[in-house]
Amino acid sequence: MSEQALPWFLLLILLPLVGAFICIGTKERTTDYVASLFSGLTALVGLWMVGRWGFSGVRIHLGGLPQFGRFVGKEVSMFGFLLDPLSAIMLMIVVGLGFLVTVYSVAYISAGNKEHPVTNGRERYFFWMLVFIASMVGLVTSSNFLQLFVFWELTTICSWALIGFYETDRALWGGYKALLMTHGGGLALMVAIIALYLNAGSFDFEALKAISPEVRGALFALIFVFIMVGSWAKAAQFPFHTWLPEAMEAPTPVSAYLHAAAMVKAGVYLAARLILEGGALPYWVGLLTTVMALVTMFFAVSAFFFQDDLKRLLALSTIAHLSYILLGCGIYIMFKSPEAYQGALLHIAAHAAGKGLLFLTVGALTYFSGTRRISELSGVATKQPLIALSFFVGVFTVTGVPPLAAFWSKLFLVIGALQNGPFGYFLVFAMLLESLIAFGWFLHVGHRVFFGTPSPRAEAIEGSRRSIDLSLSVLIAACILMPLVVLPLASAALVK
C-alpha cells in the first residue's frame, strides 16, 4: 500500500510548487488560469487521497541521515508521509479552501477592488499562495516532528510574505509581527523536538511514549510545555494572541485561508496530533490546556464590543474558536471523553467552513464598497443579497445554530464535558455563555451592516463577480454538509 501511495504524496506537494514557479513567469490572465488550475488539481488529488486512505491510513518511512542514526545507535526516520483520519480532516480543508481562495483571488486581487486596487504584483501573490498551500499539505502529511517543523516554518514565511503583500506600513508591520511571534513559538517547538530526539532517539510522533521512566516526569513536562508554546503561538492563543488582529492588513483571501485552513489551524493540529500519539497524558496537561483555552476565549470575546473593523472582529472570533478546539483536547486528556475529542476535530472543519465564508463575505463587501468599517455600512442586503445571506449563514454556523456545522461540533463538546461532574458543568456554562455573547453581537453587527437605509458606501455597490459568487455558494453548502463528511473521520481518529 505504501508503494502505491508514495507517488500521490509527492504529486500532492509538487503540484502547487510547480504552479507557483510557473506563475512567476506569467502575466495577467495567464497567471489566473495557472493558479486556478494547479490549486484545483491539488484539491482533486488531495480529496481523492482522503477517500482512498483517509480511514484505513497509510504511513511511509523514507529513512533519514546516517549521522543521526550513529548518534543514538539505531536508524532514525526523518522523512516520510502519513495520512490517517486526523490528517485527512486537515488535508480536506487545506486543499479545498486553498482552491476556493485561489479562485476568489482572481477577482479580488485586481484593479476593480475599491479598497485595494491591484495593478501589479499578482504573480508574486499567487506564487506565495500556492507555496502556502504546498507548505500546509506538507505539514499535515508529515510522519514525524522534524519534517512537520520544516513545513511549520515554511508556513510562517508564507504568511509573512502574504500579510505584507500591500506593502503599506501597517501591512509590513503586521507581517513582521506575525513572523516574530510565530517563529518564537517555532523555536520553542524546535527545542522540544531536539530534547525528544536526545532522550528517545526518535523524531516520531510516538516518541513521547519511548522516554525512559526514570526521567519521564520532568522531561515530559518540559517537552510538552515547549510543544504547546509552539501550538499556542501559531494558534494565536494567550499570551501570543496579539499578532492575529494585526495580520488583518493582509488581502482578505489571505486572511480567509490563514484563519480557516492554514497557519492558526496548524497550531491546533499540532495539539490534536500530540494527544493522539502521546499515550496516556497526565491530568495536569489537560488542566493546563483547558485553563489556557478558557482564558483566551473570554479575553477575545471581551474585545468584540470595541471593534469597528469587520476583519478584526472576525480575527477575535477566530481566536475564541481555536480555544474551543483546544478546550475539547483538554477535556479529552482530563476525562478520556471521546466525544470531546471528536467535537474538537469536527470543530476544526466546522469553523473552517463558517469562518472561511465570513472572511470571503467581508472581502466581497470591501471589494464592492471600498470599506470594512461597520460604522460606514448599512442596507447592503438591498444591493448584494448573496453577500447578506453568506454573512448570516457564516454567523449561524460558527455560533452553533442547528443544523449548521458548528452546532454538531459544539454538541459533542458539551456532551463530553457533561459526563464529568461539576467541573464539566462549569465548562458547559462557559461554552454556552461564549456562544450566546457571540451570537448576540454578530446578529447586532449583521443587522447594522445589511439592513436599514443604505449608506453612501452601500449605494455605490454595483455589479458582481462570478468567482466571488462561486466561492461563497460552495462555502454555504459546506456549512451544511461538512459534518456528514468529517464526523466519520473524527470518530475513526481514536480507533487504533
Q: What is the DSSP string of 251-306?
A: -HHHHHHHHHTSTHHHHHHHHHHHHHHS-S--HHHHHHHHHHHHHHHHHHHHTGGG
Contact predicate 390/476, CB 8 Å: yes
For the stretch 74-89, pLDDT in tens is 666 678 899 999 999 9
- C-alpha span between 395 and 389 (Å, rounded): 10
What value does the mean pLDDT of the chain take? 90
Q: How far is C-alpha 35 from the chain's CA centre?
A: 21
Higher pLDDT pick, 462 / 16: 16
Cα–Cα distances in angstroms (integers) from residue 326 to residues 71, 178, 264, 274, 423, in the given order: 36, 21, 12, 12, 16
Residue 429 makes CB contacts below 8 A (sequence gap 6+) with none
Task: Name the strand (E) or helix (H) holding 319.
Answer: helix 310-335
Q: What is the pLDDT of residue 379?
A: 92
Residue range 237-249, pLDDT digits in tens: 989 988 999 999 9
Q: Rg of the chain over CA atoms, in angstroms? A: 22
Q: Which of 190-222 are b and which e, b meaning 16 or more Cβ less than 10 Å from the residue's Cβ?
A: bbbbebbbebbbbbbbebbeebeeeebeebbeb
Distances (CA, A) of 243 to 87, 149, 278, 428: 26, 20, 29, 29
Task: Give residue-wise pLDDT tens across range 284-293.
Answer: 889 999 999 9
Tell me the C-alpha to C-alpha distance, in Å, between residue 486 and each of 34, 89, 339.
Answer: 30, 7, 14
Q: Kind of pairing, strands 80-83 and 58-61?
A: antiparallel
Q: With b meaning 16 or more CB within 10 Å and e meaning fewer, what string describes 421-432?
A: eeebeebbebbe
By residue count, the chain amounts to 496
pLDDT on residue 259? 84
Evaluate whether 272 touches 349 at the Cβ level (below 8 Å).
no
Candidates 152, 27, 92, 46; CA nearest to 489 is 92
- Give per-residue pLDDT as tens, 377-401: 999 999 899 999 999 999 999 999 9
Residue 263 confidence (pLDDT) above 70:
yes
Comparing 97 with 236, the larger pLDDT belongs to 97
Measured CA to CA, the distance from residue 425 to residue 403 in angstroms comes to: 24
Contact 333, 275 (CB under 8 A): yes
pLDDT at 4 over 90: no
> pLDDT for 301-348, tens place per residue?
999 999 999 999 999 999 999 999 999 999 999 998 999 999 999 999
Closest CA to 380 of 317, 462, 451: 451
Whether the bond between 251 and the residue before it is cis, its omega within 30 degrees of 0, is no
Query: What would the pLDDT profile of 156-179 be if each residue is shown by its tens digit?
Result: 999 999 999 999 999 999 999 999
Mean pLDDT of the 430-441 span = 95
Q: Lowest mean pLDDT of 189-198, 326-335, 397-406, name the range.
A: 189-198
pLDDT band at 67 (very low <50, low <70, confident <90, very high): low
**Read out DSSP for 421-484?**
HHHHHHHHHHHHHHHHHHHHHHHHHHHHHHSSSPPHHHHT-----HHHHHHHHHHHHHHHHHHH
Domain ranges of the chain: 2-493
Alpha-carbon gap, residue 321 to 435, rounded angstroms: 10
pLDDT at 214 over 90: no
Distance separating alpha carbons of residues 473 and 383, to the nearest angstrom? 17
Interval 36-50 mean pLDDT: 96
- DSSP string covering 103-114: HHHHHHSSTT-S
Query: Helix 385-398 and helix 466-493: axis angle, to 10°?
Result: 20
Instruction: Provide DSSP, 336-374.
Output: --HHHHHHHHHHHHHHHHHHHHHHHHHHHHHHHHS--BG
Judge whether 15 and 41 are in contact, CB under 8 Å. Answer: yes
Helices 28-53 and 85-108, packing angle to 10 deg: 160
pLDDT for position 201: 77
| C-alpha 59 chain-centroid distance | 23
pLDDT tens by residue, 267-277: 999 999 988 88
Query: What count of other Cβ atoms lies within 10 Å of the Cβ of residue 170?
Result: 12
| pLDDT of residue 70 exceeding 70 | no
β-bridge mates for residue 142, sequence order: 81
Identify how many contiguous H helices and E strands the chain contains and give both numbers: 19, 2
